[in-house]
Amino acid sequence: MLDHVFISVSDIDRSIAFYEATLAPLGIVHAHDYEGNDGPPGHPDLKGFGANGRVFFWLREGVVEGRAAHVGFVADGISEVDAAFAAAMTAGASEIHPPGAQLHYDPRYYAAQVRDLDGYSLEFVYKEWQH
């Protein structure tokens, strides 16, 4: 199980606004900011997102390699996948694939996928057998 992921973004304020809007339907919120100067030398400033008392998705300003990462976010149902997709599109994402069953994986795998403002691939996923 993963504990956390950092991604570098080109404009931290723009990305914070994008992820606040996009992740809200999943119950994921902008939860904590970490000032890098509080850590070891060279530690970046981080903007953290999480849910249920855990901060697990972090943004840092820096060099973007958007096509190098794909992040899947758990949804608690089909309606959450649909809502996160709609929120992401409204916030400026580009569509990779709209919400629907991903039959190539499993008929109970329902997901949508977008590219964020820096080109990262984001997937909102509901896997019926995991709930």
What is the number of other CB atoms lying within 10 angstroms of the CB of residue 78?
15
What one-letter code names the amino acid at 38? D
Chain segment 20-60, per-residue pLDDT in tens:
999 999 999 999 999 998 889 989 999 999 999 999 999 99
φ, ψ of residue 81 to 5 degrees: the values are: -60, -50
Q: What is the CATH number of domain 5-130?
A: 3.10.180.10
Predicted model pTM: 0.94
Q: In the chain, where are the structural domains located?
A: 5-130
- Residue 104: count of CB within 10 angstroms of its CB: 6
Question: Using CA atoms, how far apart are residues 95 and 115, in angstroms rounded to an integer?
Answer: 6
CA of residue 59 relative to chain centroid, distance: 10
Residue with structure tokens 């939860």? 31
